[in-house]
Structure 1
């Protein structure tokens, strides 16, 4: 038994605590992307511990790592439930902890299987670990509508593996990160001559993309398209004031003034910048929508994307974006995007959980879902594809709009309101999520938000311009649209995440052949 194995056997609770701490610390790289090596070290520690564990111990290690990871990454959910929802603090803390623990069952189960199928062969075991990691991340991102926030690939947006995003997507990057982390430690149980070979391979996997990016630059699968001058509004309305009767007239007046005075081809507002249904708005400010439509109906004039709820009691409600332009003002015109991927507990109530939502003082409801493959909003020859807030976590769903290269979006636009979560790490986390979408699809991303981060991101994932969070303002910039498809856009549009599911299943089911070192590390 090696010294490291002795440490794990003699001090299992110390190892468990270290693994949980590593899981929590790796989330720093979701916020500060210069810390991209931190998740690599954290994953390597988990892989080292799992290599020496029984399946039951490995399940506990994976579950503890995942629970600490998600708890540290999404603690700001407490603010929406307690500060704005009125849920008592102990219950809000318990809700975040239970969510993190429940979503970490996937990683615990994957690590148990990895330990059960351990062979003692470094390359095979590292590959099986990566397959388990991939399966767990896919399950968290898809099952029960999915919650892929803080997926490990987002930590690499400024790391050497980011150059592979147009091929692999965020989950593929996460799987490769896990493979490299496991390789770094998988040779510790080998003889002296072979001990460093897996680590050398791991370092080579990191070095090659880094060298490629430095020498050749990021791969270009797309070409320049139409440019747009854009104006992105940031309203900075505190969440507890958003529906306040005394504040709403001033907010609506500012939004209307900013929309109609902007000197741009396209003006974009945050999510529900107009927070009232059309009938309610007409009662409060008669002629509001008519005035906006008239302004944006001028031939050759500007266009706008406005976040607003739509619907009525009989037909149901949607979280929507309305497009205003000369084309939409023509007979038979009109553009509307309805949010497709709704937020559990925020925009729909999962079966059996109405009792929980009734504990909170938040105006929740069951919204209707929009179409799966909506058209783009055409502005000056550019095809702008809106998505609302949480939807840009699902790159495979955005990729559905790229099935036809001729009509594929040339610009993406995310309109958001994460004022629910206060001045927290949720803001830079969401910005980095949008940056990864730009890398995957090689499309610029416009972000118009209530409290931040309002920004223009180019097709290489670089922030070109941004407003300071928690300020009222208008961001003026020029965005270069893009034509053409990345490999990720092609395969994800055609098959969704099924290729990655197949890869994970293949890795987990691969036949187990005992290696010479396996006798040293296997447990009953």
Structure 2
């Protein structure tokens, strides 16, 4: 139930074979092919074509969702790599495709720097170039290593590089190729192998199509995707159980540039309270990340007001807290009597956002964490862990960025009696702008729900907020830049799937086998050529 929401007749004969028109068209096509080949044979024109393909491929990501452009874009890239004469040329082709992919897919990365443009705006161009160009090094290295090797080895190395990208330098598993299938039935396979399996499918389909030959290559991705649609489609979400807990998701829509303004803080605070107090009493109320503009030890009155507005329901919210000289980005659960029942400190902090390496030294040069008020930023907590929510059971709290790290969620979402009833994600996506960042972040939340077969209640300051069931279906949602509260029934939790039980282990083994088989095939082919 949405309590309140408001949003900021002639015909033409075709020429017969042999006519001048037909011959002219045929000659144009035959003349164009050598020209394209000549372009593909030169490193920089080939890189430009690869970059264009990367931009087209990234349109498969949210919010565009054009996965059907991603597959032919990768196919074009695989054709282009056949013209790489040197390992350096292969690196350039792979890097250019990745630069185009990340340049569009991560274009939202400039948004945080313009919240306080006077202080941080100068860093925006460097962030785009360094981040996109740096991430592209992973793909460039893959293409260099797989130079003059089979497409199977290339795909195995590419998927492995994407898995490494989620770990190296604290990790950034955003805009993975497999993410283009989020929101489609193919995404259900993430319950078996997570985003790496989806990435293997995304890269493998064009590679298989290319290896079959010219006559059938178009049919392979189409038939594979059509079969997956039929077999994997979970259908619409069922009606909620009458006794399902009712969770109120509160989206205050506090504009980031005004969120900490002393004149606006009471406005956003009153908005939280009124949205919490309206309508029937839920079983749980959830506020977003840093919902209150004060530290925990300064928020006694505000929390008491929130407890009163919740009318006995437990209240989960994000809040900053201080312990001695350390600051934490935290989440707390307050019971119906105003007592803090659970506390969680965010563990996986955003580099250059919530902390700056060597922060105090960097502060002397005017470099600060975008989301932190201190030079050194926040202190990480001891690790992800479930917390108790009165009347609901165990919940796995996730604060913003932590929702993109499937491996860490796997480690925290225990199997058996300690398996959480739901994931509880509190975030402030106002930093991400309004074009693509918030939608991509929300899409990854859907993927986490599938991987764990566990519902997720996701509350974002400015959106997108929603309830996601164990199949990744959105059962209730408040849109971007809307102010409102939504009562959503908590969907049932499913049994722990293969990915939740075994994580990336099976995928790593599969990639090793695929890589070894491809290397053996390459050696055999070389032996036949030498004979």
Match of 1:277 among 266, 279, 295: 295
Asked if the contact 2:276–2:485 (Cα under 8 Å) also holds between the matched residues in 1, the reply is no
After superposition, residues 173-322 of structure 1 pair within 5 angstroms as 173-188=198-213, 196=215, 205-213=224-232, 217=234, 227-261=244-278, 263-281=281-299, 287-293=301-307, 301-314=312-325, 316-322=326-332
Q: Residues 444 and 477 (structure 1 numbering): CA distance in 2 closer, same or farther, change over 3 Å?
A: same
How far the C-alpha of 1:260 sits from its partner, in A, is 4.3
Q: Residues 151 and 368 (structure 1 numbering): CA distance in 2 closer, same or farther, change over 3 Å?
A: same
CA-to-aligned-CA distance 1:113-148 (integer Å, 9 cap, x gap): 1114x1xxxxxx232121121122112111011111
Q: Distance in 2 between matches of 1:360 and 1:370?
A: 20
Asked if the contact 1:338–1:371 (Cα under 8 Å) also holds between the matched residues in 2, the reply is yes
The number of aligned residues is 489
RMSD across aligned positions (CA): 3.3
Q: Distance in 2 between matches of 1:104 and 1:505?
A: 23
Asked if the contact 2:178–2:199 (Cα under 8 Å) also holds between the matched residues in 1, the reply is yes
- Secondary structure of the corresponding residue to residue 317 of structure 2: strand
How far the C-alpha of 1:382 sits from its partner, in A, is 4.0
- Secondary structure of the corresponding residue to residue 480 of structure 1: coil
The range that moved more, 346-355 or 242-251, is 346-355
How far the C-alpha of 1:396 sits from its partner, in A, is 1.7
Asked if the contact 1:33–1:155 (Cα under 8 Å) also holds between the matched residues in 2, the reply is no
Q: Distance in 1 between matches of 2:359 and 2:285?
A: 41
After superposition, residues 315-334 of structure 1 pair within 5 angstroms as 316-326=326-336, 329=339, 334=341
Instruction: Tell me the residue number matched to 2:26.
Output: none
How far the C-alpha of 1:359 sits from its partner, in A, is 3.7
Match of 2:404 among 355, 369, 393: 393
How far the C-alpha of 1:112 sits from its partner, in A, is 0.9
Instruction: Tell me the residue number matched to 2:192.
Output: 167
After superposition, residues 34-183 of structure 1 pair within 5 angstroms as 34-53=65-84, 54-86=86-118, 91-116=123-148, 118=149, 125-183=150-208
Q: Residues 10 and 67 (structure 1 numbering): CA distance in 2 closer, same or farther, change over 3 Å?
A: closer
Asked if the contact 1:225–1:480 (Cα under 8 Å) also holds between the matched residues in 2, the reply is no
The range that moved more, 370-379 or 38-47, is 370-379
Q: Distance in 2 between matches of 1:439 and 1:256?
A: 33
Asked if the contact 1:232–1:269 (Cα under 8 Å) also holds between the matched residues in 2, the reply is yes
Q: Distance in 2 between matches of 1:32 and 1:76?
A: 12
After superposition, residues 414-433 of structure 1 pair within 5 angstroms as 414-433=425-444
How far the C-alpha of 1:232 sits from its partner, in A, is 0.7
Instruction: Tell me the residue number matched to 1:121.
Output: none
Asked if the contact 1:307–1:320 (Cα under 8 Å) also holds between the matched residues in 2, the reply is yes
Asked if the contact 1:383–1:409 (Cα under 8 Å) also holds between the matched residues in 2, the reply is yes
CA-to-aligned-CA distance 1:396-416 (integer Å, 9 cap, x gap): 211223332222122212111
Q: Distance in 2 between matches of 1:438 and 1:425?
A: 21
How far the C-alpha of 1:383 sits from its partner, in A, is 2.9
Asked if the contact 1:51–1:521 (Cα under 8 Å) also holds between the matched residues in 2, the reply is no
Q: Distance in 2 between matches of 1:521 and 1:23?
A: 34
Q: Residues 239 and 256 (structure 1 numbering): CA distance in 2 closer, same or farther, change over 3 Å?
A: same
How far the C-alpha of 1:421 sits from its partner, in A, is 2.5
- Secondary structure of the corresponding residue to residue 335 of structure 1: strand
Q: Distance in 2 between matches of 1:406 and 1:226?
A: 21
- Secondary structure of the corresponding residue to residue 513 of structure 1: helix
Instruction: Tell me the residue number matched to 1:513.
Output: 521
How far the C-alpha of 1:468 sits from its partner, in A, is 2.6
1:447 and 2:466 are equivalent in the alignment: no
Q: Distance in 2 between matches of 1:468 and 1:48?
A: 41
Q: Residues 33 and 410 (structure 1 numbering): CA distance in 2 closer, same or farther, change over 3 Å?
A: farther
Instruction: Tell me the residue number matched to 1:463.
Output: 474
Structure number, greater radius of gyration: 2
Instruction: Tell me the residue number matched to 1:384.
Output: 395
Q: Distance in 1 between matches of 2:126 and 2:245?
A: 46
- Secondary structure of the corresponding residue to residue 118 of structure 2: coil
Q: Distance in 2 between matches of 1:438 and 1:455?
A: 12
How far the C-alpha of 1:280 sits from its partner, in A, is 3.6
Q: Residues 351 and 60 (structure 1 numbering): CA distance in 2 closer, same or farther, change over 3 Å?
A: farther
Match of 1:341 among 341, 348, 359: 348
Q: Distance in 2 between matches of 1:434 and 1:162?
A: 12
Q: Distance in 1 between matches of 2:359 and 2:91?
A: 28
Asked if the contact 1:453–1:467 (Cα under 8 Å) also holds between the matched residues in 2, the reply is yes
Q: Distance in 1 between matches of 2:156 and 2:498?
A: 21
- Secondary structure of the corresponding residue to residue 166 of structure 2: helix
Instruction: Tell me the residue number matched to 2:29.
Output: none
- Secondary structure of the corresponding residue to residue 233 of structure 1: strand
Q: Distance in 2 between matches of 1:353 and 1:205?
A: 54
Q: Residues 361 and 371 (structure 1 numbering): CA distance in 2 closer, same or farther, change over 3 Å?
A: closer
- Secondary structure of the corresponding residue to residue 61 of structure 2: helix
- Secondary structure of the corresponding residue to residue 328 of structure 2: strand
Q: Residues 375 and 225 (structure 1 numbering): CA distance in 2 closer, same or farther, change over 3 Å?
A: farther
Q: Residues 498 and 486 (structure 1 numbering): CA distance in 2 closer, same or farther, change over 3 Å?
A: closer
CA-to-aligned-CA distance 1:30-67 (integer Å, 9 cap, x gap): 22464122221222122222233232211111111112
Asked if the contact 2:183–2:443 (Cα under 8 Å) also holds between the matched residues in 1, the reply is no
